[in-house]
């Protein structure tokens, strides 16, 4: 009887085989990522409109961000995308220890990114650049500058939240990899986590020039 | 990378693959993409420090789009994925483009959009230089 045939423990009963299951899971992940584009899209739209309305104020406000920290974090996040890609690669080849090692490196680089972000946020609190009753801005249109910093905290905050959610997922996948759950034939969770992590990297690739490198 | 076939309908059955659904990309490809992303990061910082007039933002966005494509095609394996994946992603970006273009056209072609009682209304149209 078909139901009693030996099959892969990860294969769910409503899929005929692992490749079909993987194709469905991957497609679902991409639909989720498309939804994420729309989720962040609203913030990018708001940024575009307000920057078009107040270009000078946005440039003046952006000069209070440290582009060196932003550039360093960009490099850190690109590095974490590389280690993530190498973790997926190791999973496809069945190198258990390498999966765990590269996932650990990805988590470490993600932690460095968030640590730098904490330093930057603390600096903004210190210099009264956090929108609210204590916001102070001398170099021009303070109200538009406050709009810039509202967008800065909303966009980088939502991005950081995605990383804060992503790191425990990486740790969970790393734990399962260490336990030997994944094989060359089945490691879909590693791949899908990779897609998520790379997407978060892409968001930052746009945030860095739009927030830190406004010319003016 | 000449050994890679254009995306097949079902890469799971691609002859180059040893295992179900995996396209194993050589590690040097990942390292090359990483190097390109780092060079482009330096390029976007360098470009922002040169006054290109109205071109600064388009150049920055062009570099960012290039970097995003590198990540999508290679790190996210879309280059070797079924075309339906690229279609889903393209749909999301077309939607984003329409939202920004449509809303932007509306904001920039109407009258004052952000009247502020305490300050003069910001000028519309091209920003004053």
Q: Do A53 and B18 touch (CB under 8 A)?
A: no
Q: Which residue of B has its CA nearest to A44?
A: B100
Q: Is the ipTM of this complex over 0.85?
A: yes
CB neighbourhood size of A8 (10 A): 13
| Chain A residues near residue B56 by CB distance under 8 angstroms | 215
The answer to whether the beta carbons of residues B60 and A210 sit under 8 Å apart is: yes
A106 touches chain B (CB under 8 A): no
Given 3-state DSSP classes, what are the helix, strand and coil percentages for chain B, each rounded to the nearest 5? 60, 0, 40
Residue A93 touches partner B, C-beta closer than 8 Å: yes
For residues A114 and A10, what is the distance between their CA atoms, to the nearest angstrom? 34
Of A37, A54, A74, the CB nearest to B96: A37
Contact B60 A213 (CB under 8 A): yes
By C-alpha distance, the chain B residue nearest A144 is B122
- How far is residue A18's CA from residue A94's CA, in Å, rounded to a whole number? 16
Per-position pLDDT tens, chain A of length 216? 455 557 888 899 899 999 999 999 999 999 999 999 999 999 999 999 999 989 999 999 999 999 999 999 999 999 999 999 999 999 999 999 999 999 999 999 999 999 999 999 999 999 999 999 999 998 889 999 999 999 999 999 999 999 999 999 999 999 999 999 999 999 999 999 999 999 999 999 999 999 999 976
How far apart CA A102 and CA A177 sit, in angstroms, is 11
Q: Which residues of B81-92 are buried (b: 16+ CB within 10 A; e: fewer)?
A: bbeebbebbeeb
pTM over the 0.90 mark: no
d(CA A34, CA B10): 21
The token duo for B111 is: 């009258």
Residue A116 near residue A69 (C-beta atoms within 8 A): yes
The C-alpha of B52 sits at a distance from chain A's nearest C-alpha, in angstroms, of: 9
The beta-carbon neighbor of B116 closest among A31, A143, A206 is A143
**Residue contact B71–A22, C-beta within 8 A:** no
- And the tokens for A95? 């190198």
* Angle at the Cα of A57 from the Cα atoms of A54 and A61, rounded to 5 degrees: 135
The alpha carbon of residue A196 and the mean position of all alpha carbons in its chain are separated, in whole angstroms, by 7
d(CA B37, CA B53): 25
């Amino acid at each position: 009887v078909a139901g009693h045939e030996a099959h892969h423990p990860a294969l769910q009963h409503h899929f005929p085989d692992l490749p079909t299951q993987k194709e469905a899971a991957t497609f679902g992940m991409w639909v989720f990522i498309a939804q994420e584009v729309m989720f962040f899209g609203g913030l990018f739209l708001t940024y575009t409109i307000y920057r078009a309305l107040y270009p000078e104020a946005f440039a003046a406000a952006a000069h209070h961000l440290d582009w060196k920290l932003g550039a360093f974090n960009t490099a850190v996040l690109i590095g974490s995308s590389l280690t993530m890609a190498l973790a997926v690669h190791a999973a496809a080849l069945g190198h258990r220890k390498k999966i765990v090692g590269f996932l650990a490196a990805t988590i470490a680089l993600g932690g460095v990114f968030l640590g730098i972000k904490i330093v930057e946020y603390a600096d903004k609190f210190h210099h009264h650049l956090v929108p609210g009753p204590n916001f102070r801005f001398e170099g021009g249109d303070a109200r538009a500058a406050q709009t810039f910093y509202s967008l800065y905290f909303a966009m980088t905050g939502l991005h950081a939240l995605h990383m804060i959610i992503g790191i425990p997922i990486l740790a969970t996948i790393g734990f399962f990899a260490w336990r030997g759950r994944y094989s060359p034939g089945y490691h879909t969770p590693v791949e899908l986590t990779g897609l998520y992590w790379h997407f978060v990297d892409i968001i930052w690739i746009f945030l860095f020039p739009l927030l830190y490198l406004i010319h003016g | 990378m000449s050994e890679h076939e254009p995306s097949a309908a079902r890469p799971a059955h691609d002859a180059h693959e040893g295992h179900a659904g995996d396209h194993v990309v050589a590690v040097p490809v990942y390292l090359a993409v990483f190097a390109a992303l780092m060079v482009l990061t330096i390029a976007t910082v360098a470009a922002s420090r040169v006054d290109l007039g109205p071109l600064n933002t388009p150049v920055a966005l062009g570099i960012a789009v290039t970097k995003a494509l590198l990540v999508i095609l290679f790190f996210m394996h879309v280059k070797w994925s079924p075309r339906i994946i690229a279609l889903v992603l393209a749909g999301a970006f077309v939607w984003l483009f329409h939202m920004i273009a449509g809303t932007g056209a509306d904001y920039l072609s109407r009258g004052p959009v952000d009247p502020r009682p305490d300050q003069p209304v910001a000028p519309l149209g091209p920003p004053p230089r």
